[in-house]
Structures are given as C-alpha cells and as structure tokens.
C-alpha cells in the first residue's frame, strides 16, 4: 500500500512571505460542493496558492506558482458577496501559510445577531443562548446584537445601529475568563480570555408580571402527611 509519505515527492518552494494580514490566493469562486457530507451545498471556494507539497496525485499543479496576495479582509469581503454560509478553504495547501489560520478564525471570532425584541431583558436571553452554542462558546470574542429591522449581513446597517441604538453605559457585557479560540491572533495558543457583547437594540419596557395568587394545598395533602408521619415517627 502506498503511504502518504511515499506518495509525496520532495517539497517544492515555500510560499512567499507577505506582510501580516495577507496571503497568497489562487482563486475564489462560488459553486456547488461536489464532495464530502456537504455535497450539493452552494459553497464559496477559497483556493490558496504556492503549495510547497508535491503529491503524486496532484490535479492542481497550477496552484504551485499562480497566485496573488490578498488581505484577509479582501477575501472575507469577496466571500460575503455570495448567498451562502458555506465556505471551503482549500489548496494548494492552506496550512502552508500562517495567515490561513487567521482567515479561518475570522469567521468565528465576531458574530452579529438580529432579534425581534419584545421586552426588557430578552436581549440578555438571546445573548446567553448564542454564547452557549458550540461555535460561540468555543471562539467568539465579540457578539453584536441588533434589532430585527437591521440586516446583520449589511455592515453599514449594523454600524448605523451601533451609532444610534447602542448605549455604552448599559449596552456592554464582558464575560471574563471564558474559553476562547486558540487561533485568536491577539492571544495565540491561549484558548482563554474575555468575550464582549455590544447590545445595539432599542430599549423596551419589562414584561408585565402576571398576578400572583395563593396556591392552596391539593386535597390529598392530609393523607400524604399522615403516611409520612407514620413512616418517619
Ligand atoms: S495542491 Fe494539493 S494535491 Fe497538489 S501538491 Fe499541493 S497539497 Fe498535494
């Protein structure tokens, strides 16, 4: 049987080193995923270039040399033009470039949620629910919550909500000593730090408290009490 090591020729040239925040990209395109469990799902493919490996089965030799530097912000902006949440970071060999880690973690470090708020405190419920999800509890460090009339995919609208509905005195929540993504560029390898939530929703009045009545003991109470007293005497 041919092992991966036997099937790989000596490495080619290492990718060029770009300034921080940039990586070498061969192509970005939108199509239908044709492999794995996501087969059939509309996906944006981000193909890195300057692969230093030389697998004998390689069908992407054009990625060895063809590529242009792009910033991670440019890549994210291009990906977000397409109507899908599925992104495949592929090669080439993405892991040959350190910036690929930052690119991959950029998609989970910051989250924006839009909610239909009906009463005061409901935003905190939504915040807690989001931060309890596997993705957010693992690596999200900034969560922005906006009202339902703000499109969370439109950053201009999100900035408008922050400018007009966010109150710095009451709208910031810090969660210290939380689990974090170890790929976070500001604290690589730590997996531990602070999360922040910015609440840019409009204030609402509290939910009306329902009338509280006196709960009468059920009719069986005397019989149960008799049984317990007999047993524990
Ligand atoms: S592009 Fe992929 S298949 Fe080709 S040499 Fe690089 S890692 Fe191997």
In this structure, is residue 218 part of a structural domain?
A: no
Q: How confident is the model at residue 6 (pLDDT cuts 50, 70, 90)?
A: very low
- Residue 187 sits in a domain whose CATH number is 3.40.1670.10
Q: What residues contact residue 123 under an 8 Å CB cut-off, 6+ apart?
A: 115, 117, 145, 199, 201
| Domain match, 87 and 115 both | no
pLDDT tens digit sequence for 50-92: 888 888 989 888 888 888 999 887 888 898 889 988 899 998 8
Per-residue pLDDT at 123 exceeds 70: yes
Q: What's the Cα-to-Cα distance from 90 to each of 6, 13, 132, 155, rounded to whole Å?
A: 22, 18, 29, 27
Considering the domain boundaries, does residue 43 fall inside one? Answer: yes
93 pocket-lining for ligand 1 (C-beta < 6 Å): yes
Residue 175 has pLDDT above 90, yes or no: yes
pLDDT average, residue stretch 8-29: 76
Q: Which atom of ligand 1 is nearest to the CA of 63?
A: 1
Ligand 1 pocket test, candidate residues 4, 35, 51, 62, most atoms within 8 A of CB = 51
90 lines ligand 1 (CB under 6 A): no
- Same domain for 73 and 156? no
How many structural domains are present in the chain?
A: 2
For the entire predicted model, the pTM comes to 0.54
126 located within any domain: yes
- Note whether 89 and 115 are same-domain residues: no
Return d(Cα 158, Cα 144) in angstroms, integer: 8
Share of the chain above pLDDT 90, in %: 40
pLDDT in tens, 82-93: 998 889 999 888
Tell me, yes or no, whether 122 and 192 share the same domain: yes
Helix (H, G, I), strand (E, B) or coil at 149: coil
Q: Is 58 in the pocket of ligand 1 (CB under 6 A)?
A: yes
Distance from C-alpha of 52 to C-alpha of 54, rounded to nearest angstrom = 7
Q: Where does the chain have alpha helices with state H? A: 72-79, 99-109, 122-131, 134-139, 155-164, 221-232
């Amino acid at each position: 049987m041919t092992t991966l090591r036997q099937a790989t020729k000596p490495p080619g040239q290492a990718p060029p080193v770009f300034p921080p925040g940039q990586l070498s990209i061969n192509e970005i395109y939108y199509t239908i995923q044709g492999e794995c469990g996501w087969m059939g799902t509309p996906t944006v493919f981000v193909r890195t270039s300057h692969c230093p490996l030389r697998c004998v089965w390689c069908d992407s030799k054009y990625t060895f040399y063809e590529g242009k530097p792009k910033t991670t912000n440019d890549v994210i902006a291009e990906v977000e033009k397409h109507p899908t949440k599925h992104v495949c970071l592929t090669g080439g060999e993405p892991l040959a470039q350190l910036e690929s880690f930052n690119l991959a973690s950029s998609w989970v470090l910051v989250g924006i949620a839009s909610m239909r708020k009906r009463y005061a405190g409901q935003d905190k419920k939504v915040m807690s629910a989001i931060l309890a999800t596997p993705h957010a509890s693992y690596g999200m460090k900034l969560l922005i919550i906006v009202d339902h009339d703000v499109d969370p995919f439109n950053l201009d609208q999100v900035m408008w909500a922050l400018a007009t509905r966010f109150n710095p005195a009451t709208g910031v929540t810090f969660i210290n000593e939380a689990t974090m993504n170890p790929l976070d560029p500001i604290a690589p390898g730590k997996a531990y730090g602070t999360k922040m939530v910015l609440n840019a929703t409009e204030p609402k009045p509290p939910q009306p408290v329902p009338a509280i009545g006196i709960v009468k003991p059920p009719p069986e109470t005397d019989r149960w009490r008799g049984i317990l007293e007999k047993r524990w005497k």
